[in-house]
Amino acid sequence: MLVSWTSHPKVKKMAQFDEKTTTDEVLEAIDLTGKVAIVTGASGGLGAETARALASKGAAVTIAARDLTRAQAMADQIKKSTGNPNVDVGELELDKPDSVRSFAKNYLENHDELNILINNAGVMACPLNRTTQGWEMQFATNHLGHFLLSCLLSPALVQGSPARVVNLSSGGHNFAPVDFDDIHFNHRDYDKFQSYGQSKTANILFSIELDNRLKGRGVRVNAVHPGVIMTDLGRHMSEEDIQAIMGNRPEGSPEMVFKEIPAGAATSVWIATSPDLDGVGGQYAQDCSLVEPDTIDSGTGGWAKWAQGTDDATRLWSMSEEMLDETFDV
């Protein structure tokens, strides 16, 4: 389950699309033949629908997932439903840097270019858990793993330019900014929603910084909020958790509206493929539209001010490199 607010007043409606638009409607007039895409977390849910939609329009798609058995079953299903044989799988455990490096190495050994990278995988509101490095799991999976993956794949993205990277954030980034003094909850009580919120804020800040670094070489990067969708992402949430979120929306925010999966994946597909977005980067989108930045410090359900700053984006990049003990020439 992806939980947050939808249809925010600051969403700038574009063209004919809205919160009800599906992936197939977004791609109706688009041909992706010859394009190469990677979708993380695509063995089910939003990622699987995203991969299916891209494959249905001719793209060669790699499903990057933790469970290879589920991923292969989904790849076979997509091949059958779309008639596109160019759907393969790769093992990717985002909380394990060695797995991320292995996936990227294998991809680069077998592909020269990458046109679309959709960083879709994630975890939400899980109990406190740490990686072997001591990193808090939500930050490690939702941000650090995709940070490392995107940096390692950047040569293929540049070679495949014009290329696009899509980072799945969430309206849940309004739960919390990045706490640069204690990202991994070593000195404060763990709160699973604060943790989720800062990881989703990190997704947006990373999009801003990566876009700044790659836009001169034809790669644009954006973040998206897919909407409120019932998926396996929310498996750690109780009914009380869901009711608490629904009852504590920011003042003035619209009612929560649940989407079906094809509508939930539509914004990712739209921002990854729409010709209307050529040259657009460093933005935050939902409901197949760009969101105007909020101008106040606290989250309102839109694009929180704490997820906009280029200084924080650069700081997050540097801290991510320090955690991974690697500097990226991106």
Domain ranges of the chain: 11-324
Rg (CA), the chain: 18
Question: Is 6 a residue whose pLDDT tops 80?
Answer: no
Question: Is 84 a residue whose pLDDT tops 80?
Answer: yes
Which residues lie closer than 8 Å to 228 by C-beta, 6 or more apart? Answer: 1, 2, 3, 4, 5, 6, 256, 257, 258, 259
Q: What is the pLDDT of residue 240?
A: 65
Q: Give the separation between CA 319 and CA 322, rounded to whole angstroms.
A: 5
Tell me the pTM.
0.91
Catalytic residues: 196
Structurally, at CATH architecture level, domain 11-324 sits in 3-Layer(aba) Sandwich (3.40)
Q: What is the pLDDT of residues 30-67, one digit of tens each?
A: 999 999 999 999 999 999 999 999 999 999 999 999 99
Question: Is 252 a residue whose pLDDT tops 90?
Answer: no
Helix (H) or strand (E) holding 323: helix 310-324
Can you read off the two tokens belonging to residue 208?
């801003």
- SS (HEC) of 124-145: CCCCCCECCCCCEHHHHHHHHH
Q: Give the separation between CA 239 and CA 196, rounded to whole angstroms.
A: 17
Q: Give the separation between CA 155 and CA 323, rounded to whole angstroms.
A: 22
Of the listed ranges 31-35, 56-60, 229-233, 310-314, the one predicted with least confidence = 229-233
